[in-house]
Structure 1
Amino acid sequence: MAEIHSGRPNDGVGIIILGNSGSGKSFLCNILLDEMRFRSEYDPNAVTVKTERAEIKMGEMTFSIFNIPGLIESDQQRIDQNKKEIEKAFQMCPYSIVIYVWTPNSGGRVVADDGIGFSALHKAYQFPSTSIIYVINNVLSNRKRSFDVDFLVQIKEALTVNQLTLTPDDSVFVEKINFDDKQERQTMRKKIINCIAIHSPAIQEKKADIILETAQLRELREKFKRHQAEAEKDQKKYKSELEEMRLKLERVEAIRTPDTFMGALYSGAQSGAYAAGVALGAVTAPLLAPGYHLAKALDEWWHS
């Protein structure tokens, strides 16, 4: 049973989930905890206004999962309050993995506010690429195969502004599920944990203030949409990126199987090789000393 706390966590790893209001951060926290601990989209009063966290143990390690208010709001006072809540989470547990939640619009496009929010946060914290995961939330289970590839390329273009790269190793597509269905819930949970396991926690230190003003939002949204349109104008380059992403996605999905993933991950960590990648013949992020302990804890939890 996970316990919700409000004070400073003990030594451990933070899983800090960021994204805008209504993106499904609370629901994602509940999936990781495997229980309905935070009010989610099923509750009409579910918008998070204060930072909450739940502490759980996996193997020998303690993980603090943070449920944080979204950054972008319609008034500046709320934005400023949300900035403080985000900063508080990183102060409470700076050694962490960051999950940023993207929610496609009805047309399967990246929402401008998701890109704007991420850009503002990354400029302030400069998240190390080996410690950040991109969750694409609330997607259909029967979506077209091309949807995942196209959306990842859209995110890749959005991240280019922040001088970040994206590979399928860094992403998880979270389908709409019935939370009361234990099998659906645990299948999705393991899928997310697989991705967490190949990322290394890092000290997330604020390098600058989070800059976001309501007066700028209209201009920023228009600028983001122009960037989207310009990226898609070069059809030859865009189609090439789609094909490259498709091949990478197929390679990643081939190794993300519950029966083989965790054992290979831990074996790779023990030998100091690439996490899961060397053991399974795929290229993933290097698992350094912090990642080794994370992999060990997750492997023990997985087989407990």
Structure 2
Amino acid sequence: MLDNKNYRIYNIPGLIEGDKERITLNKLEISRAFDEQKQHSLVVIYVFGHQNGRIRNEDIVTFRAIHNAYTLNPDSLIIIVNGLPPDRPNNYNKDTQATLIDLLGMKPSHICFIDRLTSSDINQNLRMYLTDTILNVHPRIHIKTNDIHLMTDDVLQLQANLDMIQIQMYNEQIEHEDVITGMDREIEAAQRLSILRRLFCQVKVDLRRLVNFDEQEKHLMNIIKQWETEEIHYKNDSISDHYIIAMSNRQNAEEQLRKNFSSKHQVNISLNVHRKDIEQICFEFEQIYNGLFDRQHEFVREYYILFDDLRFDPSIQQVKHNFINDLYAFTLERFHDID
């Protein structure tokens, strides 16, 4: 109980692990925690780890996956960066806060930086600090709008590749630390680029499917109108073969139209997920280089090539979806000039 209010605490796991079965179980645990309290207001506390001060990519991926599923509200969200060295640089908190806001795409009510504790530390001040933080946010009801989506296979493969490279270079790390850091960055950037190519390929497929769905919709609407006319013509003879055939064909066409709408809706959802994934890959790339790169970098040049190939493809020029416009606005904001 805090401030005469009862709180139920759920300590839910992360998502990214080496075992696919554990990932599935973790998703169920996260969903269970939200579902059991779907009628109650929640305060969400998300804890980020770090690697030598740099926010871990898997924590960002997991946060965005949960946010895409439950649309976390900044007013009820507390971000904690945990286990930090007490002697970190003076500007670390400010710079990392700006980075987190950029990566998460939102500004949470509170971002807390917690020093690494030892067994001899007295935690009373920390408890008071966290308690005050919890009492100063606004609990909200969280409704699930999407399933938790995670590029599991890509993440596991990237992690396996990175682990193998780190083992191979371990013996040289002390003497060539600067060189290895640069190589790690290039490897991570290349991995993000590989994922980016696959995402743009899938987007083009989905957009072409939307074009086909629109054409099928027009065709089915015309068929329905024709059979409705035929049905009206023979309505006074409702037991005639002409009337029965017209009514049956109209109903079949309407059922096909409903299936067309359902498939089209699923593709629209898929496109929205792909756009968020593309934006996430760009955020991760900027974090790899701490924002210090130019437009001549291979990743940026490849991004422009993939985006231009998509938006100038004549086969999808007439598609009715905001994907290209939304990604254009994002590209303009992140990388500035496009044309």
Name the TM-score, length of structure 2 as normaliser: 0.47
SS at match of 2:50: coil
Aligned position for 2:147: 209
Select the structure of larger CA radius of gyration. 2
Give 2:196's aligned residue: none
- CA deviation profile, 1:204-255 (whole Å, cap 9, x unmatched): 11111001142131579733531325761379xxxxxxxxxxxxxxxxxxxx
Q: Distance in 2 between matches of 1:159 and 1:98?
A: 14
The answer to whether 1:233 aligns with 2:173 is no
The structure richer in helix per residue is 2
Measure, in 1, the Cα distance between the counterparts of 2:2 and 2:135: 12
When residues 63 and 201 of structure 1 are mapped into structure 2, their CA distance, relative to the original with a 3 A threshold, is: same
Q: How much has 1:121 moved relative to structure 2?
A: 0.5
Question: SS of the counterpart of 1:187?
Answer: helix
Aligned partners of 2:23, 2:79: CA distance in 1, in Å? 22
Instruction: Say if 1:179 and 1:189 are closer, same or farther in 2 by CA, change over 3 A.
Output: farther
How many residues of Structure 1 are paired with residues of Structure 2 in the alignment?
171
**Is 1:190–2:128 an aligned residue pair?**
yes
Q: CA deviation at 1:176?
A: 1.5
Residue 103 of structure 1 contacts residue 136 of structure 1 at CA under 8 Å; is this kept in 2? Answer: yes
Kindly indicate whether residue 55 of structure 2 is the aligned counterpart of residue 110 of structure 1: yes
3-state SS in 1 of match to 2:44: strand
The code of the aligned residue for 1:76 comes to K
For the 8 Å contact 1:98–1:131, the answer to whether it is kept is yes
Q: Distance in 2 between matches of 1:59 and 1:136?
A: 25
Moved over 4 A (4+): 218-221
Aligned to 1:242: none
Distance, in Å, in 1 between the alignment partners of 2:126 and 2:55 is: 22
Q: Please identify which structure carries the higher strand content.
A: 1
Higher relative contact order (CA 8 A, sep 6+): 1
Residue 26 of structure 2 is aligned to residue 88 of structure 1 = no
Q: What amino acid maps onto 2:284 in structure 1?
A: K
Offset of residue 179 of structure 1: 4.8
Correspondences of 1:149-228 after superposition (within 5 Å): 149-160=94-105, 164-166=106-108, 169-179=109-119, 181=121, 184-217=122-155, 218=157, 222=192, 223=281, 225-228=284-287
**Alignment match, 1:136:** 81
Gaps of 5+ in 2: 159-187, 193-280, 295-339
Q: Percent identity?
A: 29
Is the Cα–Cα contact under 8 Å of residues 157 and 231 in structure 1 kept in the other structure?
A: no
| TM-score normalised to structure 1 length | 0.52
What secondary structure sits across from 1:145 in the alignment?
coil
Q: Structure 1: which amino acid aligns with 2:46?
A: Y
Show structure 1 runs of 5+ residues with no match.
1-56, 236-304
Whole-Å separation in 2 of the counterparts to 1:229 and 1:73: 21
